[in-house]
Structure 1
Amino acid sequence: MSDQCDLCLLGLIILSSLLTGTSGDDHLFISSGVDVSLSCNKDLSDCKSTSWTHSNSFGHSWVKLITGGIKNKDTERHERLSLESDCSLNIKNVTEEDYGLYTCRQYVNGEQQGNDAYVFLHVLHVSPSSSSSSSSSSSSSSQTEISPGRSVTLSCQLYLYSGLSCDDWVHSGGFELLWVNQAGVDLKTDSRYQISSSSSSSPHRCIITLTTTLLDEDDNREWRCQLTQRNQVQTSVRYTVKYSAQADSTTAVKSMIVSIVEMAVFAAPTVILLQIICARRAGRKDSKPPEEIEMPTILQ
């Protein structure tokens, strides 16, 4: 029970620093797939004694990323990390697993210099899943499997470092997760889309999903999941619908059939008119009087 109280207290402290901005801690909200630079309190002339550690399990399982100014090669993200001349930590192509608390510390002769620098990294990530419109279950899917007529569900997840539940963290901080179109209009206002928020088994994730049935005109359509704080956008993730080559060929066939039908519709009156004209001319020839019929040359 005491551990839970400590976590709640720490969560409130983090939330308070986020809202008031008085602690000097950095809270960064970014989307997955981008590069980010985490600042350190540089108190030394160089970064040879700088260390960076990371935890995304709220104070446990700390991972050493930089030790003595050198990257640790046994970390999975080794290739994506770099240390700048000002001791900032660069992370390339951020993933949802990079969220958490980063701590920068500097030493001289084994003694810490200055205060720790804390950076809270919160990551927004979107993942799609699709299924046929006749199926109630959905499975993971890449963009290439998406095609018109299928139901698609986009899951937008905010990975955050906090000791509070997602609901408490979001509502207390004035945060909101939204799905919007290219013009920034909330998709909840469109009955075509089903927007729902769901709880996660992890306290470090907030989830909002978008579900809709794809139309032919949705190819290259963009939807955005965005995080706002008091109506100010903190970060957003774009998802663009890309139909597969098979879907494109199917659409092309449909378009060709439509064109043929349209041509047939427009050509039909012309054909009928020609038939009427030919029939009238044939009727006139059959109704000529006998004296107008020319005698065969052989009888003359």
Structure 2
Amino acid sequence: MSDQCDLCLLGLIILSSLLTGTSGADRVFISSGVDVSLPCNKHLSDCKSTSWIYYNRFTEIVELITGGIKNKDTERHERLSLESDCSLNIKNVTEEDYGYYRCTQYVNGEQQGTDAYVYLHVLHVSVSPSSSSSSSSSQTEISPGRSVTLSCQLYSYFGFSCNFLVSYEGVELLWVNQAGVDLKTDSRYQISSSSSSSSSSPDHCIITLTTTLLDEDDNREWRCQLTVGNQVQTSVRYTVKYSGDPASGTAGLLYRVIVSIVEMAVFAAPTVILLQIICARRAGRKDSKPPEEIEMPTILQ
């Protein structure tokens, strides 16, 4: 019965947000891999009567914090902590953390003040499995000459479809370089936008970047940037680091030349020093007469 009431309340909040554009809930946009703090309306001197409830699906309601104590039955309890102002801190956010959060405070069955509602949207980048032999959430190792595809996805809660976020909220996803320039202006990049949805998940916004890597792309950084009303909210950085022998390709030729010059300098240095010593000694001999050429004093007869 309690779960049904929570679902009804959640449905009313989402309906209100769709009709009015505001619901009194905070909307937090964050990138995966960082820490985030979700605000709570603190009405008491401490947080012993504070509870945090998480809604990821209409059928999934999880109590993360109950009476100021973490629920150890949750998979991510080690990444959660309750701050002194009763806000919920989530370390190393993942794409699985997106959803709807509610902070409530009750004393003896009576609600204290108003609840705090937070919609957490998570921006995450992944690399195409066929593009790399070794990858992580922020870096991929690959060889030049191969094609790489990076997919940037915004994970949002039910009621915030991609079309709604783009059309009514002004949300936009972009791929930019280190200088913040939109890569759509560069013909070497193929960029496309789409959405993904299923019966068990909402309609997520996706923007992909595909390019063939050049020698000079080693350690190059690309960034998936999320803006709302032309204001940057968050971004995810992605760096390409080449694997294998660095002495390959055009960059490898330059690498070998530099190594050869350094080696020549190291081996030539002792020879140069020895020649300088020999020249200095010869110059010293010219400035002084040999012992046999020194005139002996005349002996008086």
Q: 1:120 is aligned with what amino acid?
A: Y
Aligned residue number for residue 104 of structure 1 = 103
Q: Work out the CA distance in 1 between the residues paired with 2:38 and 2:134.
A: 33
Give the aligned length: 245
Structure 1 residue 252, shift from structure 2 partner: 8.3
Q: Note the alpha carbon deviations across 1:56-79, whole angstroms, 9 max, x for none.
A: 22x431111001100011111111
Find runs of 4+ consecutive structure 1 residues off by over 4 angstroms.
Answer: 6-12, 138-141, 256-260
How far the C-alpha of 1:113 sits from its partner, in A, is 1.5
How big is the alpha-carbon RMSD for the aligned residues of Structure 1 and Structure 2?
Answer: 2.7
Question: Equivalent of 1:160, from 156, 159, 162?
Answer: 156
Matches within 5 A, 1:184-199: 184-199=180-195
The alpha-carbon deviation at position 139 of structure 1 amounts to 7.2
Seen in structure 2, the aligned counterparts of structure 1 residues 239 and 225 have a Cα distance that, compared at 3 Å, is: same
Gaps of 5+ in 2: 1-8, 262-301
> Given the alignment of the two structures, is residue 239 of structure 1 paired with residue 249 of structure 2, yes or no?
no
Amino acid in structure 2 at the alignment position of 1:113: Q
Task: Specify whether residues 48 and 196 from structure 1 end up closer, same or farther in structure 2 by C-alpha distance, changes over 3 A only.
Answer: same
TM-score, normalised relative to structure 1: 0.74
Question: Post-superposition shift, 1:247?
Answer: 4.8
- The equivalent residue for 1:173 is 169
What TM-score, normalized by structure 2, do the two folds share? Answer: 0.74
Q: 1:220 to 1:158 in 2, by over 3 A?
A: same
Give the Cα separation in 1 of the matches to 2:98 and 2:214.
35
Could you say if the C-alpha distance between residues 16 and 232 of structure 1 is closer, same or farther in structure 2, counting changes exceeding 3 Å?
farther
Change (3 A) 1:36 1:15: farther
In the alignment, structure 1 segments of 5+ residues that lack a partner are 1-5, 132-137, 264-300
Q: 1:170 is paired with a residue of what secondary structure? A: helix
Does the aligned pair in 1 maintain the 2:215–2:250 contact within 8 Å?
A: no
Amino acid at match of 1:169: L
Establish whether residue 65 from structure 1 lines up as the match of residue 64 from structure 2.
yes
Residues 249-298 of structure 1: CA deviation (Å, up to 9, x unaligned): 435884169859xx9xxxxxxxxxxxxxxxxxxxxxxxxxxxxxxxxxxx
Q: Which amino acid aligns with 1:197?
A: S
Q: 1:115 to 1:216 in 2, by over 3 A?
A: same
Aligned mates of 1:226, 1:48 — CA distance in 2: 38
Percent identical: 76
